[in-house]
Chain A
């Protein structure tokens, strides 16, 4: 009885619906294929095995929907807090959703949720979201709040002094404990003397 809902690629709630619809379609398709296989007098086990690709795909779509819905719900909870934080989290969630649509475009096309021209539109929107996120990228990883001692990474240091720490780290390599490694005297010297 309700009117059909239109997918709005800038609206999280609308995209959640699209993910839900995709999951629903893939579960339906896998179930129907399984049923059809059974009607050809195959055993349950054979029918299951012969549809396992569709079944894994349906599970994947279901999980993707649960993920995106939970993510989106969480962002709704942040809504009444800090506006700047809410804005950046919404941009991230939109990127997550549209990137998922782009990667699984076949499913969304098959389900009739998007058209081919719309996919081009999504691709453009994705590029726009990358630019929007660019100034906040470092702050977004800072917010994970991993101390240098936890990351133990010369490349990921908070102070950004990557090359200095890479050089310091390399100097501690056991191969640098002596200026000349013993293998030189054991193997290379005898070899050189023989040639």
Chain B
């Protein structure tokens, strides 16, 4: 043990174990998390060469192998609680991503939340047994966050009771979904629904893209990897061009909106329900921001305790760089932010589950609040965390630039959160729309609830403190 870091621990005024228990939600949860982590760390099947020394193809190969092992082990150990699955997966992944990520976090949750009972019975066992490997194909080459502008079409043909899927323009080619390029054999495709000559907006369709036996692309499907990115080297983000691909009527996710066999369209109770999966991911990103920032702070602060540099007073030995006020000013506000993010991440996750519980029971009254809150907090946390990770890297001097610091990997893996599931400025403007609407309601004397309830309060109740 390095003597500097030992001394730091001896001088602390509190027991970190108590704080760990608070962060985990109790001592028992800490114990179980550690137990799960040990299952991975002690497992020779998860040992491999440092990914930094491998080519992209080798990294993808290693990641697929690890993901496959992970699924088998989860079954073998009987880990089924979502929080425990998350713990197990996060230790397997480390600071990297996995090609099955979208299958877990978007494909299965979308099936769970948007399938009818019949569809659920058919698709979920296939998805959970990984015979169906899925992704979520929303973003197109020419269209991102503004999803009403998506161009992919699904035209209903009542004579065969099928939807005909098309990518009518070059800008409509699906672009970016994780696992789409090489891994997946199915995609939930978001497309503009046309029936009886009318467009009914964006709907979700389960679309087979590769043969489940040979894994070859199906007729009319042009699919592949989009090439290297800023990070995410282990993931085959893909493109998908659909040329008159026919799928049965039952492949439209019909829990809310429906198309009858004769082509009659039945509206959903809220248009926002189509974006439910995105709202779920945005809610979870708040916790991800906490993890990325707390990992970066851990690295930068431990290193700052070990690193000695220059001199504070002439003739004295080089001090720990953590003793420099400027270094503290870089790192400690980020440390405080990481803690804030952790607690708010838990709050956001609870809020999502509470409100989505109401939605499942048919109560949509809090959906606008959830929509606005998840969009705003996602944007707020990812902007701050992204800049914070980079500041942690620069707090480590030249060594922060080495991949062995892990900070470059944390940064490139985290950066896309600022754009995926909604570009941040657009997210902030969505929140603003809700705030302006709420402000008008408050001025009109309506009583607001939730996080905007303060807009009902008089503004003259606070004044500056005299110096």
**Residues in chain A within 8 A of chain B (CB atoms):** 2-9, 17-18, 20-21, 23-25, 27-28, 30-31, 34, 52, 55-56, 58-60, 62-68, 70-71, 74, 78, 81-82, 84-85, 87-89, 92-93, 95-96, 99, 112-115, 117-118, 121, 126-127, 129-131, 133-147, 149-162, 165-166, 169-170, 172-174
Contacts and interface: CB of A to CB of B under 8 A. Distances in A.
- Most B CB contacts (10 A, CB to CB) among A65, A99, A121 go to A99
Interface stretch (B75-83, B257-265, B427-435): B427-435
Contact of A55 (B37, B436, B465): B436
8 contacts: A30-B432, A96-B340, A131-B328, A142-B298, A144-B338, A155-B407, A160-B6, A174-B53
B376 A150 contact: no
Interface string B344-381: 10010000000000000000000000000100110110
Nearest to A74: B343
A118 B464 contact: yes
B406 A85 contact: no
B2 A162 contact: yes
Given A58-B432, A137-B322, A138-B301, A159 B53 contact: no
Interface residues of B, number: 99
B444 to A, nearest CB: 12
Contact of B94 (A64, A92, A140, A152): A152
A64 B431 CA distance: 13
A92 B335 contact: yes
Nearest to B378: A63
Contact of B13 (A28, A81, A84): A84
Given A78-B22, A136-B13, A159 B298 contact: no
Interface in B1-36: 1-2, 4-6, 8-9, 11-20, 22-24, 30, 34
Given A28-B459, A93-B336, A140 B322 contact: no
Interface stretch (B147-155, B222-230, B268-276, B396-404): B396-404
Contact of B337 (A87, A96, A151): A96
Interface of B is mostly: helix
Contact of A153 (B329, B336, B347, B406): B406
Given A55-B432, A63-B377, A127-B325, A112 B53 contact: no
B339 A66 contact: no
Contacts of B71: none
B305 A27 contact: no
B399 A155 contact: yes
A89 to B, nearest CB: 7
B306 interface: yes
B323 interface: yes
Contacts of B467: 115, 117-118, 121
Nearest to B427: A59
